[in-house]
Structure formats: structure tokens, C-alpha cells
Amino acid sequence: MQYSNILVKLSGEALAGDKSLGFDNEIISGVIKQLTTLVNDGFLVSVVIGGGNFWRGRTSGDMDRTTADQIGMLATVMNALYVSDFTKTYNVQSVVMTPFPVGTMTEVFNKDKAIDYLKSGKIVFFAGGTGHPYFSTDSGAALKGCEIGADVLLFAKNIDGVYDSDPRTNKDAIKFEKISCETILEKDLKPVDLSCVVLCKDNKLPIIVFDLNAENGIIKVANGENIGTKIIV
Ligand code: UDP
């Protein structure tokens, strides 16, 4: 087993599928089926979910940025509650943890507790990002990955890797099999947020960007198959 403790980042956009808002249950169910298979295979599995299928602070117009970002963080909590509910279909338990209290709906993050849950075969959903405005859930994923000692961050996206330019607008765009953090920073590529890249580089936490829609993509990547792009740290 190349990895044993994986943290999967799902963007809100990916959860919505072809719709721009809300949820695509078929996609979510497919993702959860893969994650529960990995748990049954002995992996420790945690998930960070974005909120872009409901709200993004940076595109909220003239409103106060801190308030806009707080709404974004709450969107990630709704997403985590929704998606975590699917694990029971596959007889795996899950927990939603947040960096701030959300009454009885989630548990406040505690590193040791999170690791205990993972070791007991539960999937832990880290919602609420970093708990601070001006950050993204990519950075939240890097932070949580470092705290819980993940071996790798798996970014399941609507694109199958990191390219030198946008393949949706440039048919000659070239996909990288591997890319260094330095090249990402030099070329200003932003496959994930830069603060996430920097945190992962500083803490030697590799990132793999791959296609959420690839068949059993999460299982393949977790088992070390070369799909997507590996960001070398
Ligand atoms: N957000 C935040 N701090 C964080 C993480 C998220 O303020 O640590 C807010 C921010 O407004 C962001 C929104 O939550 O736009 C949704 O997160 P993100 O954009 O990362 O979601 P994704 O694009 O992955 O769906």
C-alpha cells in the first residue's frame, strides 16, 4: 500500500455535477462508495469539502468579505452534513468536525479525536475550512492533512490533472504527469490555491490532482496508480 492515511478534497463544484448549484446524488454516491471501499481495505480516510456549489466569498460582490466568507464556511458545513449521510448506505460510520462550534450538529475539531475516529474505521469530514476568512478549503485541506499526518492530499476535480494552460480553451495544452511546487509557483498555474501548495511544500505533503469522474479514480490514486498529476514536494 503506497498510502495508508489519505485526505480527499472534493470541491463544491464537483458535488454539483452538471448543475451549478446543489447536489448530484449519483456523483456523491459514487464517491462515497469508493471511500467506504478504501476504509474496508484498511485506509484511514478523511474528506474536506468545498462550498462552491452554494457560495464563494470572493465572488459575493460588494458585501463585507469576512461575512461573505463566513457564509462560505457554513456552506461547507451543509455540504459535509449532506455528503456524510451517504456513508451509512455502505455501512460505514462518519463524523463531521468543524473548527468552530455548530451546536450539536458537528464536533469541534480535535486532532487526537480525529485520528482515533479514523483508526476506528470512521470517515471524518472536516468542514468549515480553516475557520478563518480569506482562506479556502484547499488551504483547510492542507492544514488538516498536516495535523492528522495524512500521507497525501487527493484533489478530485472536474479536470484530470495539471496542465500548462487551460485545456478547455487551448487544445494544445500539455498535461504534467508530475510537477514541482516551484514550477507551479513560477508558472502561476494555480491547480490548487497557492497557500495550499506552500503549506504542503513546507510540510512535505504530496498532492495528487485527478479526475473525479474517472472510474474508481479515488481507489486507483490511493493505491498508487498513475492517473492525474502528482505535485512533488
Ligand atoms: N472559506 C473561508 N475560509 C476557509 C475555507 C472556506 O472563508 O478556510 C469560505 C470562502 O468564502 C470560500 C467558501 O468558504 O469561497 C467555499 O470554499 P471554497 O471556495 O474553497 O470551495 P470550493 O471552491 O472548493 O467548492
CATH code of residue 176 = 3.40.1160.10
Question: What integer is the mean pLDDT of 136-151?
Answer: 98
The predicted model scores a pTM of 0.96
Question: What integer is the mean pLDDT of 166-175?
Answer: 93
CA of 57 to the centre of ligand 1 (A): 7
Cβ-based neighbours of 158, under 8 Å, separated by 6 or more: 11, 13, 14, 211, 212, 213
Would you say the CB of residue 79 lies under 6 angstroms from ligand 1?
no
**pLDDT category of residue 141 using cuts at 50, 70 and 90:** very high
pLDDT given at position 74:
97
Please, is 199 exposed, middle or buried when counting C-beta atoms within 10 Å of its C-beta (0-12, 13-18, 19+)? buried
**pLDDT category of residue 61 using cuts at 50, 70 and 90:** confident
pLDDT given at position 59:
84
Residue pair 113/168 in contact (Cβ under 8 Å)? The answer is: no
Whether 150 has a pLDDT exceeding 80, the answer reads yes
Residue pair 207/194 in contact (Cβ under 8 Å)? The answer is: no
Angle (CA) 11-77-90 rounded to 5° is 75
More confident residue, 20 or 202: 202
Would you say the CB of residue 58 lies under 6 angstroms from ligand 1?
yes
Nearest-atom index, ligand 1, CA of 52:
25
CA of 131 to the centre of ligand 1 (A): 10
**pLDDT category of residue 58 using cuts at 50, 70 and 90:** confident
Mutation to probe ligand 1, out of 69, 109, 134 (largest number of atoms < 8 A from CB): 69
Question: What integer is the mean pLDDT of 211-215?
Answer: 93
CA of 119 to the centre of ligand 1 (A): 28
pLDDT given at position 19:
85
**pLDDT category of residue 174 using cuts at 50, 70 and 90:** very high
Angle between helices 111-119 and 137-147 (to 10 degrees): 80
Would you say the CB of residue 52 lies under 6 angstroms from ligand 1?
yes
Whether 100 has a pLDDT exceeding 70, the answer reads yes
Residue/partner pairs of 114-121 with CB below 8 Å, 24 or more apart: 114/46, 114/144, 114/147, 114/148, 115/148, 115/149, 118/5, 118/44, 118/45, 118/46, 118/148, 119/44, 121/39, 121/92, 121/93
pLDDT given at position 1:
64
**pLDDT category of residue 113 using cuts at 50, 70 and 90:** very high
Buried b (16+ CB within 10 A) or exposed e, 4-39: ebbbbbbbbbbbbbeeeeebeeebbebbbbbbbbbb
Residue 15 structural domain? 5-232
Question: What integer is the mean pLDDT of 52-64?
Answer: 90
Mutation to probe ligand 1, out of 7, 76, 193, 212 (largest number of atoms < 8 A from CB): 76
Query: What total number of domains does the chain contain?
Result: 1
